[in-house]
Amino acid sequence: MIVDKSMNAVAPQPLTRADEAFDCLQTAIVTGDLAPGEKIGEVELCARFKLTRGPLREALGRLESRGLLVRRPHAGVKVVSVSADELMELYRIREAMEGLAARQAAERMTDQEIADLQATLDSHETMIEEARGQAYYQAEGDYDFHHRIATGSRNAKLAQMLLGDLYYMVRMYRYRLSTSSGRPHRALGEHRRIVEAIAQRDGELAEFLMQRHINAARKNIEQKISDGLLDI
């Protein structure tokens, strides 16, 4: 029984209300418009996003199974609030999964994709040097880099778990932490070395460098938290 891979392709254009609701709520949670720990009623959400309860409930179910909010029957929904420890655990998961992604990306990315990835880093560099984009780099540029590697792994489930589950939770804290300091420069250098390894098709090295990169990011946040510079 041969199965066509493309059968499980991504959903096409027709956006349904439930999809809109899902996107709205997701960005609202990530950007902090809906604060962690905040308990919020369905009717209030309907009014806020101009929706009816049907699509809204469907979106809430999806958000719940992705771990962005918790729902207690008959008691309402609440945005998840992850502790500092749990954030560290997220980084440990990223270390393992993105290491794999980097290794597979080194084996499977096309030459074109690698060139695009290098071009992306170039634009990041100019942004940092012009000193007006540190926040942007930290927030979106970094996400962009990891996004490309996740999809470049050609591992659909891996990309789905990374992009659909983990990154949203991490980005949720990027918004309020906006950790900068001297990391952007170091992070860019680490990114460059990872891409180099990928360009040389050295999967093992790419995996190692990616793991070390994420481990460094984790330690950076951990340090700031223990110094009291960051509240979570």
**How many other CB atoms are there within 10 angstroms of residue 215's CB atom?**
15
Judge whether 122 and 195 are in contact, CB under 8 Å: no
The correct pick among 7, 14, 126, 182 for binding DNA (CB under 7 A) is: 14
Judge whether 144 and 116 are in contact, CB under 8 Å: no
147 Rama sector, left if φ>0, alpha if ψ -120 to 50, beta otherwise: alpha
Compare residues 53 and 92 and give the one whose CB is closer to DNA.
Answer: 53
Angle at 69 between CA 66 and CA 74, to 5 degrees: 120
Could you give the CA distance from residue 104 to residue 154 in angstroms, rounded to a whole number?
Answer: 7
Residue 157 interacts, among a copy of itself, DNA, none and using kind-specific CB cut-offs from 5 to 8 Å, with a copy of itself
Dihedral over alpha carbons 15, 21, 23, 24 (to 10 degrees)? 130
**Ranges within 50-79 binding a copy of itself (CB under 8 A):** 54, 57-59, 61-62, 64-67, 70-74, 78
| DSSP string for 51-77 | --HHHHHHHHHHHHHTTSEEEETTTEE
Q: Angle at which helices 53-65 and 17-31 pack, to 10 degrees?
A: 50
Compare residues 138 and 211 and give the one whose CB is closer to a copy of itself.
Answer: 211
> Quick one: which segment of 30-38, 52-60, 88-96, 160-168 binds DNA (CB under 7 A)?
52-60
Residue 52 interacts, among DNA, a copy of itself, none and using kind-specific CB cut-offs from 5 to 8 Å, with DNA
The correct pick among 41, 67, 164, 189 for binding DNA (CB under 7 A) is: 41
Residue 17 interacts, among DNA, a copy of itself, none and using kind-specific CB cut-offs from 5 to 8 Å, with DNA
Residue 77 interacts, among a copy of itself, DNA, none and using kind-specific CB cut-offs from 5 to 8 Å, with DNA
Binding residues vs a copy of itself (CB under 8 A): 1, 3-5, 7-8, 11-12, 14-16, 18, 36-37, 54, 57-59, 61-62, 64-67, 70-74, 78, 80-83, 85-86, 89-90, 92-93, 95-97, 99-100, 104, 155-158, 160-161, 164-166, 169, 231-232
